[in-house]
Amino acid sequence: MSARGQASAGELLELVRSGRAVTRGALQQATGLSRATVGQRLDRLFRAGWLREGAGGPVDSPLGGRPSITLEFDDAHAVVLVADLETRHARAAVLSLTGEILAEHTGTLVIEDGPDVVLGELGHWFAELLEKTGRRADEVGGIGLAVPGPVDSGTGRVVQPPIMPGWDGYDITGRLARAFTEATGAAPVPVLVDNDANLMAYGEQRTGFPDCSAFVLVKVSTGIGAGVVVDGAIYRGIDGGAGDIGHIRVPAGADALCRCGSYGCLAAVASGGAVARRLAGTGVPAASGSDVRDVLASGHPGAAALARDAGRQVGDVLATVVTLLNPGVLMIAGDLAGTPFLTGVRELLYQRALPRSTAHLNVVTSRLGERAGLVGAGALVVEHLYAPSRVEERLLALGV
């Protein structure tokens, strides 16, 4: 927040969006601005279509009087497009600015086909989804994309992704913006890219655990990754490498070759891909984490035993993670996030971690399921578009 009495239109919008001040009087009290100045700045937000008046709220004056009119963020003026890439399939959606899924599509997209093909196809998916919702392409505020690899958030490029051959350093944001334009004829919009586990953690924390100041999500699918949210913000490390626990070396994997080229990685022995290889070795057709999920759902006893063993391997590593970060919530998500795997995680986690580290720890499974990455990607785009530092620039561009 700017110095008292100098709050911008963007900061007023942030106060309303967060629920901290939702009447004109409350905005005056929170910012120190005069009534006239608050009115002028709100008028710009109304003209942009970003705010609307709601029902009467509490009385601002201690002397009583008529209830004040509340202010609300108007989520109808724009939509965001989001997609979540897996190794062999993808999910895309149109979201409202408050995270409601308006239309959704799931289909086959093989990440090994390369970024040009995959991102071009996403552009067509987005055009079809917009048509389905009846929203125009010029109503799209931005695009969010979740990918299964480490991302440098400053550039939007993946950095040495083990399971994304051909994507290292590729200009994802530029290509996806062009794909959107080519498919819809609309002007390019901002594109934000982040790691899938990061965005899953962001979506789950914001919707289910908003008061948790240290939140960890571990995604176990074809690979293994973790997302960390601290004080409401994604923790990425200095170049997007935070949370890459799938490549921590473990004794059980000494002879196991990982897709990153190293031996001994956790992902080489405990990921959905690793379990799939073991199942395939017994004659069960499985090649990915999603295949393992389907085999587990069928009640296959051998798959359950392998998933529990994988959970124990991951739980051993998570004992260190929990000791280091002391989270309030540890969420297990992804294709293997069922009872056998979770049982294995709990066995080793509570056995190896200090009681002090787990005394207030809540170990849970995903609440949003396969939509967590979409919700997180949407939230990332919205926070980018309506960040106080960016609102003034956007208002000027709109001529208000």
Residue 80, φ and ψ in degrees, nearest 5: -125, 150
* 252-287 per-residue burial string, b: 16 or more CB within 10 A, e: under 16: ebeebebbbeeebbbbbbbbbbbbbebbeeeebebb
User: Per-residue confidence of the chain (400 residues) as pLDDT tens digits?
Assistant: 776 668 999 999 999 999 999 999 999 999 999 999 999 999 999 999 999 998 765 555 554 555 678 999 999 999 999 999 998 899 999 999 999 999 999 999 999 999 999 999 999 999 999 999 999 999 999 999 999 999 998 899 999 898 899 999 999 999 999 999 999 999 999 999 999 999 999 999 999 999 999 999 999 998 899 999 999 999 999 888 899 999 999 988 788 999 888 999 999 999 999 999 999 999 999 988 989 999 999 999 999 999 999 999 999 999 999 999 999 999 999 999 999 999 999 999 999 999 999 999 999 999 999 999 999 999 999 999 999 999 999 999 999 9
User: To which residue do tokens 């066995």 refer?
Assistant: 347
| Rounded CA separation 172/275 (Å) | 31
Residue 56, strand partner residues: 69
Whether 197 contacts 216, CB under 8 Å: no
**What angle do helix axes 172-184 and 115-133 make, rounded to 10 degrees?**
40
Q: 3-state class of 194 per DSSP?
A: strand
In the chain, the domains with their CATH numbers are 9-73 (1.10.10.10), 79-198+374-398 (3.30.420.40), 210-367 (3.30.420.40)
| Rounded CA separation 326/219 (Å) | 18
3-state percent helix, strand, coil for the chain, nearest multiple of 5:
45, 20, 35
Query: Which sign does the torsion angle of CA 20, 26, 31, 35 carry?
Result: positive
| Rounded CA separation 64/66 (Å) | 7
Structure tokens belonging to residue 370: 């396969």
